[in-house]
Amino acid sequence: MKKIKEFFKSKTISYYLMIGVFACSLITLLMYSITGGNEYNKNKIDSLIIVADIIALAASLVSLVFEIRYVKYVSYLALLFSFIYYICVEINFVANVFVATDPVSSTVLTNFIVTLITALIGCVLSIVSYKIQRKREFKTNDEGNKEE
CB 67 within 8 A of CB 29: no
pLDDT of 89 reads 86
Residue pLDDT tens, the chain, 148 long: 788 888 778 888 888 899 999 999 999 999 988 887 777 777 788 889 999 999 999 999 999 888 888 898 999 999 999 999 998 888 877 777 777 666 667 777 888 888 899 999 999 999 999 888 777 666 644 445 555 4
Q: How far is CA 119 from CA 56, 71, 102, 114, in A?
A: 10, 17, 27, 8
Q: Are 83 and 106 in contact (CB under 8 A)?
A: no
- Fill in the amino acid letter for 23: A
| pTM metric for this prediction | 0.80
Burial class (CB in 10 A: 0-12, 13-18, 19+), 32: buried
